[in-house]
Amino acid sequence: MDYRWRWIGLAAVLVAEAMNMLDSTIVQVAAPAMHNELGGSASQVQWYTAAYTLPFALLLITGGRLGDIAGRRRIFQLGVAVFAAASAVCAVAHAPWLLIAARAVQGAAAALVIPQTFGLVKAMFQGAELSKALGSIGPVMGLAAVCGPVAGGLLTQGLSWHAVFLINLPLSAAVLAVSPLITEDRAPQRPKLDLPGTALAAVGSGLVVYPLIETDRDGWLVPPWLVVVAGLAVLALFAVQQRRGSLIESSLFAGRGFPAALVTSTLFFAVLTGLMLVLVLHMQLSQGMDARTAGLAMVPWSVGMGVASWAAGAYFVPRYGHRVLFVGAGVMVTGVLLLGLPQPVSLVALAIGGCGAGLFTTPFFTLALRDISPQEAGSAAGLLNAVQQLGSTLGVGLLGSVFLGTGFPAVQWVAVGALVATAGSARLMRLRVFAVPSTVKACER
C-alpha cells in the first residue's frame, strides 16, 4: 500500500480510538442536563457513565479474540457501525432506560473496536514507521481528553445534550469510508472464545456494581451487601474457571507482580474516573455552574494530565524510574485535598491533581507490562485494560453514591484513602526500574 494511504488508514484508527475517549468525558459533563430533561432517579446519572464502561470492560478480551478469529479490520468496522447506530439511539432517547440501554450497546461496540487498533497499526507499518505510528496514539488520546469536557460543555450549553451523541455520526461515517484502506489482519492461530468465562465475569461484575450505584432504592429483597458478596463469589468462581478457560493466560498469576498491578489499576482508575464525574456534578449541582463553565473548569485537569504524562515519559521516568509513580500518587492526593477550597485555588488544585494522574499513569503501564512474555502480551494488555474500565465503573458507582448521599468532602477523603491503598498495592508489584543503560545504577539507588 502507498505510504500516504497507510497514514490515512492510521488516521481512521486514531479517530475511532478518540471517539471512545470523547464519549466518556463528554457524557460526564452532559449528564446533569440529561437528568433534568429525562427525569428518573439520581442514581441514573451514574448509570449514564457506568452503563458504557461496564460492558466495555467485560467484553474487551472477547472483542480482541473475535478480531483474531474473524479479522481485525472486519470486527473494527462492525464495532464502529454498531457504535454509530447506538449513538443515534442515545441522541433520540426519550427515557432514562432507553439512554442507559443504548449506552450499554455503545460500550459493547467500543469493546469490538479498541482491541483491534494495535494489531491493525502493526499490520500497516514496520520498522521506524511503526514507531512513529504508535507514537501518534498518545498525543491523540491526550488531545481527546482535553477536548472532551470542553466539547461536552459547549455542545450541551450551545445546543443540547443530544448533540454530544450526534457528533459521533459524522466521525463514524468518515472512519467507515476510509476503513478499506486499513490492512486486514488476523491471528495465525485462531484462539477459542470462552463464553462461559465471559458470562461469569459479566454476572459477577454486575452484581458488585449494581448495589454500589442503586444505594437510594428501597424494597431490596435481600440486603445490598449480600448482593455484593454474591458478585464477589461469582468472580472467585470465574478465577477458578480460568485455570481451564481461555480468556486469560494463567501464567500471568504465577507471581504477585501482575495481580498487584491489576489491583493497582482498579483502585487508581476508580478514583480517576469517579472523581471526574463527581467534580462535574459538584460544579453543576452544588456550585450552580452551567455545563459550558463546568466543562471549561475541567481543562486544567486534562492539560495537567497531558503535560505530566509527556514529561514523565520523556524525562522523569528514564532518570528516576519507578519512584515517579509514587510521586504522582502523592501529587494527586495533594490536588484532591485542595479541591474543596474556593476558586481560583480549586482550579489550581485541578491542575495539580491532573499532573499527579499523569505522573502515575506513564510509569505504571510500562512497569506493569515490562516483564510479560510475548505469548502473554495480548492477554495481559487486554486484562489490564478491562480492569481499568471495571475500576472506572466501580469508581463511578462508589464515589457517585458517596457524593449524592453525603457530599463532596466525604468524596475527597474516600478518594485519598483509595489513592493511599493504590500506592500500597503498587509496592507489591515488584517493580524493577527501567531506564536507559547509562542511568540504570542511578535509578536503582
Q: Read off the amino acid at residue 422.
A: T
Q: Read off the amino acid at residue 50.
A: A
How far is C-alpha 93 from the geometric centre of its chain's CA atoms?
24
Q: How wide is the angle at C-alpha 307 spanned by C-alphas 312 and 424, nearest 5°?
A: 50
* 344 cis-preceded (ω within 30 degrees of 0): yes
Q: How wide is the angle at C-alpha 23 spanned by C-alphas 80 and 153, nearest 5°?
A: 145
The three cell numbers of residue 281 are 456534578
Q: Are 401 and 43 in contact (CB under 8 A)?
A: yes
Where are any strands of DSSP class E within 24-115?
none
Q: Read off the amino acid at residue 380.
A: A
Q: Are 90 and 106 in contact (CB under 8 A)?
A: yes
pLDDT of residue 444: 37
Residue 24 has a CB neighbour count (10 Å cut-off) of 24
Q: Are 263 and 388 in contact (CB under 8 A)?
A: no
Please name the fold of domain 255-445: Growth Hormone; Chain: A; (1.20.1250)
Which stretches in the chain have pLDDT values below 50? 431-445
Q: Are 149 and 288 in contact (CB under 8 A)?
A: no
pLDDT of residue 225: 78
Answer whether 1-178 and 255-445 agree in fold. Answer: yes
The three cell numbers of residue 325 are 509513580
Superfamily of domain 1-178: MFS general substrate transporter like domains (1.20.1250.20)
Cell 507514537: give the residue.
135
Per the document, the length of the chain is 445
Rounded Cα–Cα distance for residues 163 and 159 (Å): 7
CA-closest candidate to residue 432, choices 445, 444, 422: 444
Q: Are 356 and 395 in contact (CB under 8 A)?
A: no
Q: Are 160 and 33 in contact (CB under 8 A)?
A: yes
CA-closest candidate to residue 112, choices 136, 84, 132, 139: 84
pLDDT of residue 79: 95
The three cell numbers of residue 37 are 430533561
